[in-house]
């Protein structure tokens, strides 16, 4: 099974406020919730006042979580890597009361008949994807069917890269608040972020380029990657299809192709060997299947964060047991920003 990883390099055009860096440095060195230093508008106390997530945060086993935080902090940032799902994890589930689009869903082909056909598939398969009553083996087969049919329609409809560019420009998609700050903090600490998605790599790259406008040398994408012909039309997909329930099968493959792209970046980047030495993992996902993203790594310690965006009552019990931390109601990324500041802190606690 071959698989391809893109090391992305996105053009920088966003100038982040230096105060954010100052705030993150403060958080990193000594994060103490509820401590407010008057006159310092970016103090930890202010951050917590502005981003109090206590009502949307669920921890199944706080003692175990604390133990993992201590272990990871002790090992240091050079041992840490972040593996994140994209759709509804880095991006928001709701935008102004409407469902945000996914990297698959935002795509508008030049032939609208094919958009309609893919929408029909979505309406049939999406409820099945989240149904708690379908056994996992059966659901996995259904997901294979859905992804296979969707990719076939993209090829049959002659998707062009220009259509991707235009689709992203018109897309109803947004990153969670705090994602840019999270990436920036991790970049400063030389902690790699692997975006591991069952969506489409070419679209994710374009979303990052258009919506964040910033290059992160530590961020890489592992996802379904398209192959275009000389006319710019989609002709095939590289490697085996990744869908929402088989990400674990690709976990090992996602590391090795890094060598192929070492020359493509303008900054230091971890190769597969050094990534394998990063034996502590922070995993971010919104789906139970996302937990498999770290299966191929022999990690010492893993903290898993789950975003439970919808059908909360029905799924909370399962999520609480599966993830170390669960954020409800489409919460922003500030809790994870705080967490990584703790994980990368050199303070003895």
Least Å from the CB of residue 310 to Mg ion: 11
- Asked whether the beta carbons of 290 and 85 are under 8 A apart, the reply is yes
Q: Would you put residue 343 in left (φ > 0), alpha (ψ -120 to 50) or beta?
A: alpha
Closest CA to 53 of 336, 335, 349, 280: 335
**Residue number, 132 or 232, with CB nearest to Mg ion:** 132
Q: Distance (Å, rounded) from C-alpha 233 to C-alpha 227?
A: 8
Give the binding site for Mg ion (CB under 5 A): 85, 87-89, 286
Q: Which is nearer to Mg ion, 88 or 281 (CB)?
A: 88
Q: How far is CA 94 from CA 123, 172, 310, in A?
A: 18, 10, 10
**Chain residue at closest Cβ approach to Mg ion:** 87
Helix (H, G, I), strand (E, B) or coil at 183: helix
Residue 183, by phi and psi: left (phi above 0), alpha (psi -120 to 50) or beta? alpha
Helix (H, G, I), strand (E, B) or coil at 259: helix
Find the shortest distance in angstroms from Cβ 58 to Mg ion: 18
Q: Which of 85, 202, 324, 330 is catalytic?
A: 85
Give the Cα separation of 279 and 261 in Å (integer). 22
Query: What minimum distance in Å lies between the beta carbon of 244 and Mg ion?
Result: 7
Residue count of the chain: 349
5 vs 88 by CB, closer to Mg ion? 88
Annotated catalytic residue within 87, 202, 253, 330: 87
Residue 82 or 344 having the CB closest to Mg ion? 82
- For the question of residue 190 being annotated catalytic, the response is no
Measured from the CB atom, is 8 or 88 closer to Mg ion? 88
Whether residue 253 lies in the annotated active site: no
Least Å from the CB of residue 43 to Mg ion: 33
Q: How far is the CB of 204 from Mg ion (least distance, A)?
A: 11
Q: Name the residues annotated as catalytic.
A: 85, 87
């Amino acid at each position: 099974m071959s698989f391809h990883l893109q090391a992305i390099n996105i053009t920088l055009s966003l100038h982040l406020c230096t105060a954010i860096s100052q705030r993150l440095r403060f958080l990193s060195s000594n994060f103490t919730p509820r401590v407010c230093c008057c006159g310092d508008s970016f103090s930890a106390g202010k951050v917590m006042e502005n981003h109090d997530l206590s009502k949307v945060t669920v921890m199944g086993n706080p003692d175990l979580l604390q133990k993992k935080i201590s272990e990871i902090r002790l090992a240091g940032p050079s041992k840490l890597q972040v593996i994140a799902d994209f759709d509804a994890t880095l991006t928001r589930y709701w935008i102004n009361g409407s469902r945000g689009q996914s990297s698959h869903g935002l795509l508008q082909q030049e032939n609208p008949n094919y958009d309609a056909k893919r929408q029909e598939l979505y309406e049939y398969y999406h409820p099945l994807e989240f149904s708690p009553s379908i056994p996992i083996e059966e659901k996995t087969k259904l997901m294979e069917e859905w992804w296979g049919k969707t990719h076939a329609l993209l090829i049959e409809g002659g998707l062009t890269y220009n259509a991707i560019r235009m689709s992203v420009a018109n897309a109803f998609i947004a990153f969670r608040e705090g994602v840019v700050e999270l990436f920036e903090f991790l970049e400063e600490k030389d902690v790699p972020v692997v975006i591991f998605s069952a969506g489409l790599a070419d679209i994710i790259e374009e979303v990052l380029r258009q919506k964040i406008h910033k290059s992160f040398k530590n961020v890489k994408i592992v996802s379904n990657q398209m192959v275009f012909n000389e006319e710019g039309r989609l002709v095939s997909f590289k490697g085996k299809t990744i869908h929402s329930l088989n990400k674990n099968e690709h976990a090992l493959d996602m590391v090795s192709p890094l060598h192929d792209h070492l020359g493509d970046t303008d900054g230091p980047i971890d190769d597969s060997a050094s990534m394998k030495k990063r034996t502590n993992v922070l995993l971010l996902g919104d789906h139970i299947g996302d937990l498999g993203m770290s299966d191929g790594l022999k990690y010492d310690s893993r903290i898993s964060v789950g975003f439970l965006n919808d059908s909360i009552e029905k799924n909370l019990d399962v999520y609480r047991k599966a993830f170390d931390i669960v954020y409800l109601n489409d919460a922003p990324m500030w809790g994870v920003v705080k967490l990584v500041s703790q994980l990368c802190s050199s303070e003895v606690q």
